[in-house]
Amino acid sequence: MSKPFRFAIQLSQPLPGTTWAETAQQIEAAGFSALHMPDHFGDQLAPMTAMAWAAAATEELKVGALVFDNDYRHPVMLHKELATLDSLSDGRLELGLGAGWMRWDYEKAGMSYDEPKVRVDRFEEALVVLKGLFGEGEFSHTGEHYTIDALEGLPRPTNPGGPPIMIGAGGPRMLGIAGAHADIIGVNARIPSGAVDAEAAKDFAPERVDQKLEWIKRGAGDRFDDIELNVLVFLATITDDARGMADGIAAMFGGDPNIEKGVGAAVTAAAGGGGDPEQAPDDTGFSAETVLGAPAILLGSLEDMADTLRRRRDRWGISYITFQGPEALNLAPLIAELAGT
């Protein structure tokens, strides 16, 4: 059974002409449920500090990273920071986590960009640690990557079991893990090369999203109906020529095997740190129909957009929509129409 719509915005900087606190207040007033931060080493505010500042400036706005790269922080330290934010915000934290994908971040920081299996193994083990620390009493763990000795996770979570866990994933293993453990799943493209390319763009084709849902269901079993499905819409444009825009986007994706500019740059941020490092299948073709059907792209009038989101929810169950960038505030009428329905 599909869940009611709710909406978030992903920002890396304050809105033009405003402070970060004012930005958070405008987002809350516009009807967004949450503010999401990316987690990269480029030109963006540090997510943890920005999330805390936004929570302090608002009354009900949820905050979260879309998503934290597991490799950048030891899970014990990440838990301490998140548990503090959960407590200070009175339970308004969404705990977003992914295995890491952006090669540029690792190289610039001098960090080992391990093979996908190692990163996913480490992510899965960190997830066990985080869930254990948000549980009751002392937690111990001995694994390949982390060893925890009778540590109690403090401060205690606002809600039993801790904040909702959001996992960003795109491939079979990561989506299976997400199905087994997550409260919210960010359905992503796979980015096996560590940089956005045409194959990553094609991985949001509707038939591939169908397959992603099967991987989630396989991991989730009986708990699938309890999971909230999210997608980051990296391009949402109000237009009376959706087909013309889709033709242009298809030509860009189909013609350049290494897309790092224009719309392709937006795809980079769309992964939000949670892109799955597993290998994508190698098929060809990227048409306007693919663009119009991709859940990470939304084009048309506000009425068209509402209809499209309803159809996508009917097909995939995706009800939690994160729009990227300050232009998302132009979609306030769409949010007012759909939120909670």
DSSP string, 13-49: SPPTTS-HHHHHHHHHHTT-SEEEE---SSSS--HHH
Please identify every stretch of the chain with a pLDDT value under 50, giving residue numbers as ranges: 256-277, 279-284
- CATH 3.10.180.10 assigned to 6-338: no
Q: What is the pLDDT of residue 2?
A: 84
Q: Are strands 184-187 and 147-152 parallel, antiparallel or unpaired?
A: unpaired
In whole angstroms, give the CA distance from residue 147 to residue 38.
28
Q: What is the pLDDT of residue 184?
A: 99
In whole angstroms, give the CA distance from residue 206 to residue 216.
15
Q: Are strands 34-37 and 228-233 parallel, antiparallel or unpaired?
A: unpaired
Residue ranges covered by each domain of the chain: 6-338
Q: What is the pLDDT of residue 254?
A: 66
Q: What is the pLDDT of residue 261?
A: 45
How many Å is the maximal CA-CA distance in the chain? 60
Q: What is the pLDDT of residue 195?
A: 66
Query: For the chain, where are the alpha helices, taking DSSP H only?
Result: 20-29, 47-57, 75-88, 103-109, 116-133, 172-181, 198-202, 206-220, 242-255, 263-270, 288-293, 302-316, 332-338
Which H/E stretch holds residue 147?
strand 147-152
**Mutual angle of helices 47-57 and 75-88, in 10-degree steps:** 10
Q: What is the pLDDT of residue 201?
A: 77
The pTM score is 0.91
> What residues form DSSP beta bridges with 187?
169
**Mutual angle of helices 75-88 and 116-133, in 10-degree steps:** 50
Q: What is the pLDDT of residue 202?
A: 86
- Distance, CA of 262 to chain centre: 21
Q: Are strands 147-152 and 138-142 parallel, antiparallel or unpaired?
A: antiparallel
